[in-house]
Amino acid sequence: MLSSKALDGRVKLYEAGVPSPIFVAAMRSFYEEHYRILHLFRPRFHGQERDSRLSADSLDILHSVKRHCVMQAARAYALGMMLRLNEPSKTELVIAALLHDTHKLEEIRTMESFGRTCENYDAAQEQAHHWWLGLGIDPEVVKIASSVGHESLLEMWFLCCKYWLEGELTPLEVCRLAMHFLDDISIGGNWVDAIGNGGDNILDARNRKNASNSRYADLNARGLEGQKRKLRETAARVGCDLGWNVFLPDETAYEAQARIGHMVEAVLSDVVSRRNKAQVTDPKDLPVILDNQLWYLLCGEPIN
């Protein structure tokens, strides 16, 4: 059942930062064998109030990150079902969602110590990937967890093009697109809102919010430099630029993330439609459709 009707009266997943009992119970029953992944990162998520090096604003961000990761994992489970992923792929997607921001403390420390530049941000991401692999996390899970934000835009663009040209993707490639989409629509532990009067959905709203945040000013202005460099290197490796128009002139990082994010949204909507024999008529409805599916899984309430 694929409903794009926003549900009224849904319980909040978090009340004053505390997960609701129904949410906790559902999450444990859904993937209790994977829930322990959080314990690996408990030092990264708990007790940060005692770290005098962090500002009050940074502590608030860390608390939000906990909610963000758990909510994203819940959506990952529901989206995995909608995409008809096999159990190993669905498991990898859920674990990647729990994993993807566990380096946030190191990222914040790096930014506060050395400046909020896109170079420092990218360095923190690279450090996280090495750390995850050092912990023995499956490389495919690390690849999925890394498929978020501006540093994955080039690869997401290529995967979207591959899908429309060839009509199929590998399970890992579908999981990578799913992870990118999930991170684009997850803000803390909140449910998504329906499409606004201007035709924008949660993906647009999240990127506008990030673009207006002074913490990300340099990232927004120069965040595409690394992606453009990779594009040039790829063009040189294959011997021509193939007329690739991945990034638009004067486009900021968050403008590109919104545009390519909607490309990802369209591919996933098509995959969901094909695999469920039910049409997602407007890809911008997919975030609400996903949350309605999650609500159904959590509470067993029928969706009209």
pLDDT at position 244 is: 64
Tokens standing for 271? 């995959």
Q: Which of 46-55, 66-75, 147-156, 165-174 has the lowest mean pLDDT?
A: 46-55
pLDDT at position 69 is: 80
Beta bridge partners of 14: 19
d(CA 290, CA 292): 5
pLDDT at position 46 is: 42
d(CA 130, CA 245): 31
d(CA 1, CA 15): 29
pLDDT at residue 159 is higher than 90: yes
From the centroid of its chain, how far is CA 154? 15
The DSSP-derived string for 88-118 is HHHHHHHHHHHHTTTTHHHHHHHHHHH-S-H
pLDDT at position 135 is: 77
The torsion angles phi and psi of 19, rounded to 5 degrees, stand at -60, 140
Q: How many CB atoms lie within 10 A of CB 200?
A: 15
Most confident range (mean pLDDT) of 29-38, 102-111, 211-220 is 211-220
pLDDT at residue 154 is higher than 50: yes
Residue 5, CA distances (Å) to 157, 194, 289 in order: 29, 8, 7
pLDDT at residue 302 is higher than 70: no
Tokens standing for 230? 């990779």
Scored b (16 or more CB within 10 A) or e, 11-33 reads eebbeeeebeeebeebbeebbee
pLDDT at position 240 is: 63
How confident is the model over 16-26, as pLDDT tens digits? 555 555 555 55
Scored b (16 or more CB within 10 A) or e, 90-111 reads bbbbbbbbbbbbbbbbebbebb
How confident is the model over 215-230, as pLDDT tens digits? 788 888 888 888 888 8
Q: How many CB atoms lie within 10 A of CB 115?
A: 10
pLDDT over 70, % of the chain: 73
For the residues 83-112, what does the mean pLDDT come to?
84
pLDDT at position 53 is: 56
For the residues 198-205, what does the mean pLDDT come to?
85
d(CA 227, CA 158): 12
What residues does each domain of the chain span?
14-299
pLDDT at position 47 is: 43
d(CA 110, CA 125): 11
AA identity, residue 204: D
Q: Which residue has the higher pLDDT, 202 or 107?
A: 202
What is the helix (H) or strand (E) element at residue 19, kind and residue range? strand 18-19
Cβ(269)–Cβ(286) under 8 Å? Answer: yes
Most confident range (mean pLDDT) of 159-163, 188-192, 248-252, 277-281 is 159-163
d(CA 107, CA 20): 29
